[in-house]
Amino acid sequence: MLGRTLQEVSEALKQGLVTPTELCQRCLSLIKKTKILNAYITVSEEVALKQAEESEKRYKKGHSLGDLDGIPVAVKDNFSTAGIETTCASNMLKGYVPPYNATVVQKLLDQGALLMGKTNLDEFAMGSGSTDGIFGPVKNPWSYSKQYREKRKQKSHGESEDSHWLITGGSSGGSAAAVSAFTCFAALGSDTGGSTRNPAAHCGVVGLKPSYGLVSRHGLIPLVNSMDVPGILTRCVDDAAIVLGILAGHDPKDSTTIQDPVKPFTLPSLTDMSKLCIGIPKEYLTPELSSEVQSLWSKAANLFESEGAKVIEVSLPHTSYSIVCYHVLCTSEVASNMARFDGLEYGHRCDTDVSTEAMYAATRREGFNDVVRGRILSGNFFLLKENYENYFVKAQKVRRLIAHDFVNVFNSGVDVLLTPTTLSEAVPHTEFIREDNRTRSAQDDLFTQAVNMAGLPAVSVPMALSSQGLPIGLQFIGRAFCDQQLLTVAKWFEKQVQFPVIQLQELMDDCSSIFENEKLASVSLK
């Protein structure tokens, strides 16, 4: 049952083939079995079981709240959850319990979703490996998959298996691992420069970054206000569309959300491909791109072409400036946002009482890790009076040019852009930590951050396994607020490629029960 899609399980719940409590208990037991992944910071067992009980009562009365009623979900630990600790994987917020829910969390709960827990991340979502939080790194479920283990056995001679676990990507690695390992059916991540799409690609799941302004940021602890978007991680594109339909829409608490009402939507099946135009940005063919990813990217383009779509090479001329521009804008906004953590109102406070200044300094030194402190220092440098025009203002102008590149391409008749999500498949942790966070983020955000600067929707869809038996994902980028069209194309692609299911027998002794079919034989999908 846990290996099913959100839609199928929702149908099974409606038909009484499984109860919310049974589903919740299975997920909780799986969270315990996959503890080695370190995907969760907090497991909200009591809360989830109580929510399941309420959901069960509703189903018995025939008053289900919708598709998410009784469905286990997880939330990245930088979204505020009332009564549940929200840490951002930082000493600064260890023990902080928010008094309110983030809008997206509230919307999930209003639909009857069961909150399994809060997922692990890089501290304050700054990173691309989910390795830099105070609760330790997240391990990629594919490290323990039959597919990867078999390939490793052929190559390794006497190396210890456990030292070779892989990173999940980041910063929403906990959410991606939670969905990939079947401990929930959907999870919330956040996406500032690729933090939902990057781990989705490495963990073989679907990662959606909606258009900026479509989904409320209220209650998402901010990194870069002008780029942050709540992201959605699921095991298939249809599930992402269901969750987006529930989360999207105006929020009076977030002035950047759109004013128009958004109706939940179902994705149509693409039949006539001849009207579709796919753009391939030539600047994304970089020397660092692995040959396997490049070959799959070409295969995907050929697949669209062979089915009748028009595939053309397009140019996004300012791509080479985007990483530098992103770094300046990102660190500047980080410096501004992190000023709120001063030890006075909430979060960590040091014991120093020599003076207010000394207390501020000691609190921030103890509360933030090197990565966060480094970004604050860079940001404050760019915002100094003598540097402001040369760095921050100039970066804003370049950002406008980058956004304009996308506008020009979409105005030329292109419907969706097809690009890689990451440079390669997931790498072992030992290899990942050879480079510092700053270098890693610059490499890993290469194909993803320009979308955040332009406010466009993008989705990473798993395409195939590499020669090592690891997932490789490709990214689709759509026009602003054409999220439905983007997901429709992504759904067609997903159906064509038939990405294999992860086999985690070694991690869970009773893995077979996850995919049991006997109860589900009679589920009819309407």
User: Is the N-terminal amide bond of 216 cis, ω within 30° of 0?
Assistant: no
Secondary structure of residue 364 in the 3-state scheme: helix
pTM of the model: 0.95
Whether 158 has a pLDDT exceeding 70, the answer reads no
- Summarize pLDDT for 389-422 with one digit per residue, the tens: 999 999 999 999 999 999 999 999 999 999 999 9
467 assigned to active site: no
Catalytic site residue from 10, 55, 76, 209 = 76
Q: What is the mean pLDDT of the chain?
A: 93
pLDDT of 519 strictly over 60: no
3-class SS of residue 311:
strand
Residue 2, helix vs strand vs coil: coil
Radius of gyration of the chain (CA): 22
What percentage of the chain carries pLDDT values higher than 70? 95
The per-residue pLDDT for range 275-332, each reduced to its tens digit, is 999 999 999 999 999 999 999 999 999 999 999 999 999 999 999 999 999 999 999 9
pLDDT attached to residue 442: 84
Res 440: pLDDT? 84
> In the annotation, is 211 catalytic?
no
Residue 94, pLDDT > 90, answer yes
pLDDT at 522: 36
Measured CA to CA, the distance from residue 235 to residue 496 in angstroms comes to 15
Secondary structure (H, E, C), 72-99: EEEEECCECECCECCCCCCHHHCCCCCC
Pairwise CA distance, residues 337 & 363, whole Å:
16
Q: Which of 80, 90, 128, 171 is an active site residue?
A: 171
Q: CA 9 → CA 6, 248, 498, distances in Å? A: 5, 22, 20
Binned at pLDDT 50, 70 and 90, residue 175 comes out as very high
Local structure of 27: helix, strand or coil: helix
Checking if the pLDDT of 110 tops 70, the result is: yes
Whether residue 157 is predicted with pLDDT greater than 60 in this model: the reply is: no
Q: Is the pLDDT reported for residue 520 higher than 70?
A: no
* Residue 515 pLDDT greater than 80, yes or no: no
Cβ atoms 395, 328 nearer than 8 A: yes
Residue keyed to tokens 């025939």 = 62
Of the pLDDT bands very low, low, confident and very high (cuts 50, 70, 90), residue 509 is low
Q: What percent of the chain has pLDDT over 90?
A: 87
**H or E segment and range at residue 230:** strand 229-234
pLDDT, residue 160, reads 57
- Residues 6 or more apart whose CB falls under 8 angstroms from that of 104 comprise 79, 188, 215, 216, 219, 220, 230, 247
> How many C-beta atoms surround the C-beta of residue 226 within 10 A?
16
Residues ≥6 apart with Cβ < 8 Å to 360: 342, 343
Q: pLDDT (tens digit, 9 = 90+) per residue, 3-32?
A: 899 999 999 999 999 999 999 999 999 999
Q: What pLDDT score does 449 carry?
A: 96
Query: What is the bridge-based pairing of β-strands 310-314 and 277-281?
Result: parallel
Determine the 3-state secondary structure of 459 from DSSP: strand
pLDDT digit string (tens) for 191-241? 999 999 999 999 999 999 999 999 999 999 999 999 999 999 999 999 999
Which of the residues 145, 195, 216, 378 is marked catalytic?
Answer: 195
What is the rounded average pLDDT of the residues 111-129?
Answer: 97
pLDDT of residue 155: 74
Task: Examine the residue annotation and report whether 290 is marked as an active-site residue of this protein.
Answer: no
329-373 per-position pLDDT tens digit: 999 999 999 999 999 988 999 998 899 999 999 999 999 999 999
Q: Which of 29-38, 70-79, 514-523 has the least mean pLDDT?
A: 514-523
User: Can you give the pLDDT at residue 518?
Assistant: 37
Average pLDDT over residues 156-164: 63
Helices 370-382 and 437-444, axial angle in degrees (round to 10): 70
CA–centroid distance for 487 within its chain? 16
Q: Do 11 and 525 touch, CB atoms closer than 8 A? A: yes
**If we measure between CA atoms, which residue out of 80, 76, 88 comes closest to residue 348?**
88
pLDDT of residue 415: 98
CB neighbourhood size of 159 (10 A) = 10
pLDDT at 156: 65
Q: Give strand ranges (E) for 66-215.
A: 72-76, 114-119, 186-191, 206-209
- Whether the predicted pLDDT of 272 surpasses 60: yes
